[in-house]
Chains A and B, each alone.
Chain A
Amino acid sequence: EDQVTQSPEALRLQEGESSSLNCSYTVSGLRGLFWYRQDPGKGPEFLFTLYSAGEEKEKERLKATLTKKESFLHITAPKPEDSATYLCAEETSGSRLTFGEGTQLTVNP
């Protein structure tokens, strides 16, 4: 069964304090690993798609990496506006996305 596990569940950082979020996924039939940002009351906003181990993608203060069993979302020098829930999802056959429970990030000024 496809399963995605994210850690930690919640993370509090001070502004400028870099950290990483973890996403573990099942390896059977992976077609893509997605990262989304979700703000309260809104739908998920697409950040990155990673397809193969060793791949990395960056956008502003965010960098996503992928290994054979995990993905990391690195946040460098975060700002309060980076506060949100970050979701990862595994795409498998039939264009199904299986989401993790998310990491709720709070960045304090």
Chain B
Amino acid sequence: SAVISQKPSRDICQRGTSLTIQCQVDSQVTMMFWYRQQPGQSLTLIATANQGSEATYESGFVIDKFPISRPNLTFSTLTVSNMSPEDSSIYLCSVAGQGRGYTFGSGTRLTVV
């Protein structure tokens, strides 16, 4: 299955600033997914990123707040913009495995102060 490297692993940010999270996969994949896991809760899909097209956002998530780039088949970034304490969460990227479900990165733990 694919190996995902996610950076940074954690960060503490000031409110009103932005943070860009990077996701690197060791193989080419068509679709990459970004999830949010709020404290004590389960995972919620933010958006699906296909190479060469605009990301598709789930209900409740908008491009101005969570812009996504997908410049090639192995890399994607998620930016959390104009952060507030409510954005404190773990952000995870994911790719479809080959017969092994979806593989997740180790996550970025974001704290907004």
What residues make up the interface of A, taking CB atoms closer than 8 Å to B? 32, 34, 36, 41-46, 48-49, 87, 89, 94-102
- Bound-complex Cα distance A94 to B92 (A): 18
Interface size on B, residues (CB 8 A): 26
> Closest CB of chain A to B26's CB: distance in Å?
15
- Looking at chain B's contact residues, the main secondary structure is strand
The chain A residue sitting closest to B10, CB to CB, is A41
B42 within 8 A of A: yes
The answer to whether A43 and B102 have CB atoms under 8 Å apart is no
Residues of A within 8 A of B105 (CB): 43
The residue that A42 contacts in the complex, of B1, B94, B107, with Cβ under 8 A, is: B107
- Bound-complex Cα distance A11 to B94 (A): 28
Residues of B within 8 A of A32 (CB): 101
Instruction: Give the residues from 95 to 110 in chain B that come closer than 8 angstroms, CB to CB, to chain A.
Output: 96-97, 100-107, 109
The chain B residue sitting closest to A46, CB to CB, is B101
